[in-house]
Amino acid sequence: MRKNVAVDIQQVTKIYGTGNAAVTAVNNVTLQIYDNEFLTLLGPSGCGKTTLLRMIAGFEDMTKGHINLFGEEIEDLPPNQRPVNTVFQHYALFPHLSVYENVAFGLRRLKKSEAEIDHRCKEVLALTQMEALAERRPSQMSGGQQQRVALARALAPNPKVLLLDEPLSALDLKLRQAMRDELKQLQQKTGITFIFVTHDQEEALAMSDRIVVISEGKVQQVGTPQAVYEAPANRFVANFIGEANMLEASCKTTGKNMTFTLVGGGTLKISTPDVAAGDAVTIMIRPEKVKVLAKTGKKTTPSSLQMEAKVIEQTYLGSVTHLDLACDGQTLKACINQGAHASFATGDEVLIEIPADNCRVLRS
Amino acid sequence: MASPHRKSKFRPIWDFPGFGGLSVGFFAFLYVPILVLVAYSFNGSKFAMVWSEFSWRWYLKLLENDDIHSAAINSLIVAFFAAPAATIMATLAALVMVRGGPFRSRAFTAGLITLPLMVPEIVTAVATLIFFALLNINLGLINIILAHTVFCIPFAYMPIRAALEAMDPGLEVAAQDLYADRWDAFRYVTLPLLTPGIMSGFMLAFVISIDDFIITLMVAGAGSTTLPVYIYSMIRTGVTPEVNAVSTLLLAVSVILVSVYWLLSSANRKGEAIG
Ligand SMILES: Nc1ncnc2c1ncn2[C@@H]1O[C@H](COP(=O)(O)OP(=O)(O)O)[C@@H](O)[C@H]1O
Ligand SMILES: [Mg+2]
């Protein structure tokens, strides 16, 4: 089944300013966002996420490119004529209006009947669990409640696409985690396409159908949370999402299984289609895939590289323990489950094992 | 626990000898004459400076003085037209300056709007007089209304601009996101939020217009005397207790308007803290 494209972003570039002061905020971005999808734009602060959202909403002109909404050109439509609503980072609730009137604002501008407005307001206030506070002013509510009102207000006109610009960043940790689940459920219940912006990789992994990783205005990778975590396209993605060990290596033999020789010595046989003999590459392995054994331990998997290492620091985190290991002049990170293994002390000489199956070859 | 005798290098200013006395003297110099004026407006004696008994006598006499009536009515008419006109122009100016985005000569325009606050009033007065004379505009009260409208604009402008600057422009963006065109965004978001600021601008313009003397004295022709100008002409023939009474009334009107202005602007500040 072919998926319906909700937002089609074609080679969009945004340059602020001119001459020496020019800043390329969005650089030649091409992206299809599907109908009924929870898509996350993930990247560090200043990478152009907000600018991209503002261009979809119509608050910013594009320097180059096109954006289509369900197959229709929207470039010439002002923001108030685009069937798109936004949950703003700082909510931007109208302080002079009650919660109910905030939620009704969009419907009133669309000239809906009073009965329709009342019905829809009650519906979205129930959906966001804010019925009880309908008569309050925004100033009489907590941050979490204001957040729900902002959500209700943006959902009320039943937009085709909902844009959320770091909506959880102003909340405290507990609330943020609870809201993640709620937002995800809300998206599934309403069937509205969500474009969610965050710089928090954990948030992105927890909520998204697909993640778009952005750096310096460019798309680095588009994929499911699993794909971007397990098969990052480049060093930036590998480092930005989760933790990663990077081993410099060179590619030796051609064939289905290539042999990679690490700069510090040792070889790994990995099957990968992406590189040619002679390429200098980086081999990435996640800390939880690095096995740590006692010095006398036996190799557990045949296709793995074994190295001697020394524990230089350990951090106990309850369910897991993080180890910093000195190995061949560089520091590797490992993350081991509590209980399953013997515990290690700082200064211990250990053996580490890098399974070839869990390695990912990145071009340097 | 902090020691209550901890020595600080910096003493609060009221610790310096003579500071208390100086400030008491300052306030006394400012307010005692006004208090005396108000008290003596209730003096039964017909000599302005000799106290006899409490009486409404001079207020009753004011009621019978047709000249004062017409002067007071002239003052109200002028303020009634000049203050709203000045407020509307000030609001438009503030919208352009704060929300209009960058334009050429923006800083120059900003200075031009508020410059009249720094030009000596007598200069404005003489210039306005010459202007009307040259163009041969002789429309009685309308001359005064025109002059007041113009010089009240910067007074109305200041609080309105401050209120607009304190307002989050993100709210107008949110309104547009929710299908409001620019007019709707102004009408349903900007204007209601700006109303306290506009009201305080209006109050200020109204008080300034009611109280103005120098410009009005220059511009007013025969038959269009306002209250401050009339009071001045009364004093020239000696300070009568009637002057005390009418001054007290003028003071009361000003105090009431300024209090309303203050209440509105503090409500405004509270709004900001929340928004
Ligand atoms: N109105 C603007 N004028 C000039 N530069 C801007 C403007 N808005 C954003 N930028 C610049 O564009 C880049 C991307 O900004 P933004 O889209 O806000 O990033 P993000 O939302 O990912 O933090 C930044 O370098 C920022 O400084
Ligand atoms: Mg941003």
Question: What is the CATH number for A179?
Answer: 3.40.50.300
Suggest the residue from A50, A54, A61, A80 to mutate for an interface test with chain B (most B CBs closer than 10 A).
A80
Which residues on chain A are in Cβ contact (under 8 Å) with B178? 80, 85, 105-106, 109, 153-154, 157
DSSP per-residue letters across A96-139: TS-HHHHHHHHHHHTT--HHHHHHHHHHHHHHTT-GGGTTS-GG
Indicate which atom in ligand 1 lies nearest the CA of residue A51: 17
Q: Which atom of ligand 1 is nearest to the CA of A49?
A: 22
CB contacts of A158 in chain B (<8 Å) are none
Domain coverage including residue B179: 58-274
The angle subtended at Cα B153 by Cα B132 and Cα B210, nearest 5°, is 75
Domain span holding position A19: 5-239
Indicate if B154 and B235 belong to the same structural domain.
yes
∠ CA B98-B99-B104, rounded to 5°: 75
Q: Are residues B153 and B182 in the same domain?
A: yes
Residues A99-128 have pLDDT tens digits of 999 999 999 999 999 999 999 999 999 999
Cα–Cα dist B267/A87, whole Å = 28
* DSSP letters for B47-58: STT----B--HH
Contact A344, A350 (CB under 8 A): yes
Under an 8 Å CB criterion, which residues of A touch B? 57, 59, 78-81, 84-86, 88, 90, 92-96, 105-106, 109-110, 138-139, 153-154, 157
Q: What is the pLDDT of residue B269?
A: 59
What integer pLDDT is reported at residue B275 of this predicted model? 37
- Beta strand pairing call for A304-316 and A349-355: antiparallel
Q: Please classify residue B24 by burial: count the beta carbons closer than 10 Å to its beta carbon, then call 0-12 exposed, 13-18 middle and 19+ buried.
A: exposed
Residues of B in contact with A81 (CB under 8 A): 179
Asked if the model's pLDDT at residue B20 lies above 70, the reply is yes
Does B268 reside within a domain?
A: yes
Query: pLDDT-derived band of residue B212, with 50, 70 and 90 as boundaries?
Result: very high
CA atoms of A107 and A121, how far apart (whole Å) = 9
> Both B79 and B66 in a single domain?
yes
Alpha-carbon distances, residue A205 vs A6, A188, A218, A304, B205 (angstroms)? 22, 17, 20, 28, 59
Q: How many Cα atoms occupy the beta-carbon half-sphere of A306 within 13 Å?
A: 13
Phi, psi of A240 (to 5 degrees): -75, -35
Ligand in closest contact with the CA of A165: 2
- One domain, residues A27 and A154: yes
Same domain, A213 and A301: no
Contact A94 B180 (CB under 8 A): no
Give the chain B residue nearest A105 (alpha carbons): B178
Burial class (CB in 10 A: 0-12, 13-18, 19+), A182: middle
Q: Strands, DSSP E only, in A161-289?
A: 161-165, 193-198, 210-215, 218-223, 245-251, 257-262, 267-271, 280-285
Q: What is the number of the ligand 1 atom nearest to the C-alpha of A217?
A: 14
Q: Are residues B114 and B213 in the same domain?
A: yes
How far apart are the CA of A93 and the nearest CA of chain B, in angstroms? Answer: 7
The full length of chain A comes to 364
Q: Please answer yes or no on whether B174 and A110 come within 8 Å at the CB atom.
A: no
Cβ proximity of A34 and A60 under 8 Å: no
The predicted pLDDT at position A301 comes to: 66
Whether residues B106 and B241 share a domain: the answer is: yes
Ligand 1 centroid to B132 CA: how many Å? 53
Q: Is the pLDDT of residue B122 over 70?
A: yes
Asked if A48 and A18 count as a contact pair (C-beta separation under 8 A), the reply is no
Residues A165 and A185 in one domain: yes
More confident residue, A178 or B49: A178
Do A205 and A341 lie in a common domain?
Answer: no
Give the pLDDT of residue B1: 43
- CB-CB: which of A59, A93, A106 is closest to B173? A59
Distance A44 CA to ligand 2 centre (A): 9
- Supply the residue whose CA is at minimum distance from atom 7 of ligand 1: A16
Binary contact (B173, A96; C-beta < 8 A): no
Does A50 sit in the ligand 1 pocket, CB within 6 Å? yes
* Domain-located, residue B9: no
Q: Both A150 and A260 in a single domain? A: no
Instruction: Give CA–CA dist A101/A136, Å, rounded.
Output: 10
Residue closest to A61 by CA, chosen among A46, A42, A74: A74
Whether residues B212 and B111 fall in one domain? yes
Shortest CA distance from A142: residue in chain B: B274
Q: B271 or B38: whose pLDDT is higher? A: B38
Segment B125-136 mean pLDDT:
92
**DSSP-H helix ranges across chain B:** 19-40, 57-64, 66-99, 106-114, 121-135, 141-166, 170-177, 182-185, 191-211, 214-219, 227-236, 241-274
- pLDDT value of residue A268: 83
Residues of B within 8 A of A92 (CB-CB) are: 168, 170-171, 173-174
Which residue stretches of B100-190 are H helix? 106-114, 121-135, 141-166, 170-177, 182-185
Let me know how long chain B is: 275
Query: Nearest C-alpha of chain B: how many angstroms from A293?
Result: 55
**What CATH number does the domain containing A333 carry?**
2.40.50.100
Cα–ligand 2 centroid distance for A50 (angstroms): 4
Q: Dump pLDDT digits (tens) for B228-244.
A: 999 898 888 877 788 88
Rg (CA), chain B: 24
**Which of A33-47, B27-41, B49-63, B261-275 shows the lowest mean pLDDT across its residues?**
B261-275
Nearest to B179 among A88, A90, A106 (CB): A106
Task: Name the residue with the closest Cα to ligand 1, atom 6.
Answer: A16
pLDDT class of B16 with cuts at 50, 70, 90: confident
Using a CB-CB distance cutoff of 8 angstroms, which residues of chain B are in contact with residue A86?
A: 174, 177
Q: Is residue B30 located within the same domain as residue B153? A: no
| More confident call, A82 vs B254 | A82
User: A298 and A198, same structural domain?
Assistant: no
pLDDT at A339: 64
In terms of domains, do A104 and A59 share one? yes
Specify the amino acid at residue B138.
N
Q: Is A22 in the pocket of ligand 1 (CB under 6 A)?
A: no
Regarding an ipTM greater than 0.90, the answer is no
- Of the candidates A265, A261, A264, A287, which has an alpha carbon nearest to the alpha carbon of residue A275? A261
Which residue ranges in chain A fall short of pLDDT 50?
A: 1
Residues A30 and A51 in one domain: yes
The b/e string for B186-206 (b: 16+ C-beta within 10 A; e otherwise) is: bebbbeebbebbbbbbbbbbb
Query: Which of A208, A104, A113, A118 lies closest to A157, judged by CA?
Result: A104
Option in A80, A139, A153 nearest B176 (CB): A80
Residue B2 has pLDDT above 50, yes or no: no
Dmax of chain B from CA atoms?
Answer: 77
Ligand 1 neighbour A29 (Cβ under 6 A): no
Q: Mean pLDDT over all residues of chain B?
A: 87
pLDDT tens digits, residue range B53-112? Answer: 888 888 988 888 888 889 999 999 999 999 999 999 999 999 999 998 888 888 899 999
Planar angle of CA B55, B56, B57, nearest 5 degrees: 90
- Domain closes at, from A239, A255, A272: A239
- Ligand 1, atom 1, residue with closest C-alpha: A16
Rounded-to-integer distance, Cα A219 and Cα A49, Å: 10
Tell me, what's the pLDDT at B272? 47
Any idea what the CATH number is for the domain that residue B167 is in? 1.10.3720.10
Asked if A110 and A69 sit in the same domain, the reply is yes
pLDDT, position B274: 41
Distant-in-sequence, close-in-space partners of A131: CB < 8 Å, separation ≥ 6: A122, A125
With beta carbons less than 8 A apart as the criterion, state whether A92 and B174 touch: yes
Chain B CB contacts of A95 below 8 Å: 171, 193, 271, 274-275
Residue nearest to atom 14 of ligand 1 (CA): A48
Q: Shortest CA distance to B94 belongs to which of B190, B172, B208? A: B190
Residue B28 has pLDDT above 60, yes or no: yes
Half-sphere exposure (CA, 13 Å, Cβ side) for B98?
A: 21
CA distances from B110 to A85, A234, B151 (A): 36, 52, 15
* Ligand 1 pocket test target in A20, A27, A50, A212 with most atoms within 8 Å of CB: A50
Shortest alpha-carbon distance between residue B102 and chain A (Å): 13
Reference B56, options B46, B43, B65; nearest CA is: B43
Q: Chain A: give the shortest CA distance to residue B101, in Å.
A: 14
pTM score, whole prediction: 0.84
